[in-house]
């Protein structure tokens, strides 16, 4: 069984990425699992080349600092294999129809019907299919918003295999075991996201303890006289309970019991988040300061990824009549 997970470089990684994904990846990694820093996906909308490179280094350092073991799982930066990913994307674009691509809900939402959006915004689900199919992944943990992309990857794999011969494993989307959906501290009805940018509602993994405390202190919460986990009625309070629960492994419904008031809740969240992120931030900072070691680990991960990807890419190129 090969499970594939990825993190986009649409911004610096945040608390939600760590609690909801990276920490779980490190804990559950199996020797065949693949973790990719999806930096090709970081340029489907206007982007800064400098930042794209920086976010990719940071995301890779985060995975290693969080305990993803490059000797065990395959962990790499997508652009280190840009030729492989780009080549298979082209083959799959010639397997996908325009109608299928433009029907993607994410494209319709993100493009807002504008012709001036980058073509990559339309085609990135095909790149995502290539990311999955190159590595023979049969399980891909995804949230609800990515479900249609997995369906597309399945359709492309089936169509390709049916037309040219069996080359690809048909992947299955799986719902992650714990779907800790961390919300933005300033706008607790929306998900904490990298693409929100530098806003006070997003706690970044590299934030200093002081900054984390200030962000938690300013979190928007409801004062309804009772401290209860009720995401609909009290989204702000519930988000803090969710964060505390995710950090400590206790259910957010139960964790409020020992907390007297909202001030105490904020103090507990700030202390816990600072404690949980401290070792990760320190290891990450050390790695980012050691360019040679980071480059070595990247090259090692890329070589393992290439070993995995090359036979399948060559088989795909051959059966379609290329090379
Ligand atoms: P973007 O702003 O580009 O949508 P993102 O922050 O949503 O970025 P992704 O790179 O799409 O992050 O996701 C990386 C992993 O982090 C995925 O497994 C995703 O489910 C998880 N994740 C992202 N945001 C959260 C969140 N707020 N709470 C829990 N998990 C999250």
Pairing of strands 139-141, 172-174: parallel
The structural domains of the chain, with segments of one domain joined by +, span 4-179+291-320, 194-286
Residue nearest to atom 17 of ligand 1 (CA): 21
> DSSP character for 19?
I
Residue in 12, 20, 199 to alter for ligand 1 test, most ligand atoms within 8 A of Cβ: 20
We find that the CATH architecture of domain 194-286 is: Orthogonal Bundle (1.10)
Beta bridge pairs of residue 38: 8
Predicted ipTM?
Answer: 0.96
CA of 17 to the centre of ligand 1 (A): 5
* Residue 249 falls in which region: left (phi positive, over 0), alpha (psi -120 to 50) or beta: left
Q: Are 130 and 153 in contact (CB under 8 A)?
A: no
Residues 6 or more apart in contact with residue 76 via CB below 8 angstroms: 35, 36, 37, 60, 298, 301, 302, 304, 305
- Identify the CATH assignment for 4-179+291-320 out of 3.90.180.10, 3.40.50.620, 3.90.78.10, 3.40.50.1820: 3.40.50.620
Q: Alpha carbon of 179 to those of 16, 84, 96, 109, 143: distances in Å?
A: 10, 32, 31, 23, 8
Is the minimum distance from the CB of 73 to ligand 1 under 6 angstroms? no
Residue-wise pLDDT for 34-66, tens only, equals 999 999 999 999 999 999 999 999 999 999 999
Q: How far is the CA of 191 from the centre of ligand 1 (A)?
A: 9
How confident is the model at residue 197, as a pLDDT?
Answer: 82
Instruction: Indicate if ligand 1 lies below 6 Å from the C-beta of 62.
Output: no
Name, in order, each residue with C-beta under 8 angstroms of 268's C-beta and a sequence gap of 6 or more: 244, 259
Edge-to-edge order in the sheet of strand 74-77: 4-8, 34-38, 74-77
Distance from C-alpha of 94 to C-alpha of 88, rounded to nearest angstrom: 10
Q: Which residue's alpha carbon is nearest to atom 21 within ligand 1? A: 17
Q: Residue 227: how many CB atoms within 10 A of its CB?
A: 21
Residue 260: its pLDDT value, please? 87
User: So what's the pLDDT on residue 147?
Assistant: 92
* b/e sequence 43-71, b meaning 16+ C-beta within 10 Å: bbeeeeeeebeebbbbbbbbbbbbebebe
Q: Residue 67 C-alpha to ligand 1 middle, in angstroms?
A: 18
Residues of the chain with pLDDT > 70: what percent? 99
Predicted model pTM: 0.95
Token pair recorded at residue 44: 């489907």
pLDDT tens-digit profile, the chain (323 residues): 899 999 999 999 999 999 999 999 999 999 999 999 999 999 999 999 999 999 999 999 999 999 999 999 999 999 999 999 999 999 999 999 999 999 999 999 999 999 999 999 999 999 999 999 999 999 999 888 889 999 999 999 999 999 999 999 999 999 876 655 899 999 999 999 998 888 899 999 999 999 999 999 999 999 888 889 999 999 999 999 999 999 999 999 999 888 889 999 999 999 999 999 999 999 999 999 999 999 999 999 999 999 999 999 999 999 999 97
Q: Which of 201, 195, 107 is nearest to 146 (CA)?
A: 107
The residues, any chain, with a CB within 8 Å of residue 321's CB and separated by 6 or more, are none
φ, ψ of residue 17 to 5 degrees: the values are: -60, -40
C-alpha torsion angle, residues 79, 128, 199, 203 (rounded to 10): -80
Residue 27 Cα to chain centre, angstroms: 16
- Which residue has the least CA distance to atom 13 on ligand 1? 7
| CA separation, residue 9 to residues 16, 44, 59, 60, 143 (Å) | 14, 11, 7, 10, 17
Can you tell me which atom of ligand 1 is nearest the CA of 13? 6
pLDDT at 227: 87
194 lines ligand 1 (CB under 6 A): yes
Q: How far apart are CA 91 and CA 180, in angstroms?
A: 36
User: In CATH terms, are 4-179+291-320 and 194-286 the same topology?
Assistant: no
b/e map of 243-280 (b: 16 or more CB within 10 Å)? bbbbbeeeebeebbeebeebeebbebbbbbbbebbeeb
What spacing in Å lies between the alpha carbon of 38 and ligand 1's midpoint?
12
């Amino acid at each position: 069984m090969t499970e594939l997970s990825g993190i986009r470089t649409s911004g610096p990684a945040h608390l939600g990425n760590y609690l909801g994904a990276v920490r779980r990846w490190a804990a559950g990694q199996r020797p065949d699992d693949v973790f990719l820093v999806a930096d090709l996906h970081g340029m489907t909308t206007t982007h800064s080349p400098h930042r794209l490179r920086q976010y990719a280094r940071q995301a890779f350092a985060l995975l290693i600092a969080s305990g993803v073991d490059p000797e065990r799982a395959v962990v790499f930066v997508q652009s280190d294999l840009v030729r492989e990913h780009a080549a298979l994307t082209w083959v799959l674009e010639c397997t996908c129809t325009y109608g299928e691509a433009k029907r993607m809900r994410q494209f319709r939402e993100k493009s807002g019907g504008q012709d001036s959006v980058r073509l990559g915004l339309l085609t990135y689900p095909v790149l995502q299919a290539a990311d999955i199919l190159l590595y023979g992944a049969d399980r891909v943990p995804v949230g609800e918003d990515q479900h249609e992309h997995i369906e597309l990857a399945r359709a492309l794999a089936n169509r390709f295999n049916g037309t040219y011969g069996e080359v690809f494993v048909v992947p299955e989307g799986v719902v992650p075991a714990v779907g800790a959906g961390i919300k933005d501290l300033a706008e607790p009805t929306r998900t904490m996201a990298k693409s929100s940018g530098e806003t006070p509602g997003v706690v970044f993994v590299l934030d200093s303890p002081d900054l984390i405390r200030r962000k938690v202190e300013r979190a928007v919460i409801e004062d309804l006289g009772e401290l209860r986990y009720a995401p609909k009625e009290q989204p702000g309070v519930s988000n803090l309970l969710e964060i505390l629960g995710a950090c400590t492994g206790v259910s957010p419904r139960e964790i409020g019991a020992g907390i007297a008031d909202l001030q105490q809740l904020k103090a507990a969240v700030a202390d816990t988040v600072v404690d949980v992120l401290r070792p990760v931030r320190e290891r990450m900072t050390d790695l980012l300061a050691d360019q040679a070691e980071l480059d070595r680990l990247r090259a090692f991960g890329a070589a393992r990824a290439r070993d995995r990807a090359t036979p399948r890419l060559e088989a795909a190129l051959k059966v379609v009549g290329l090379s």
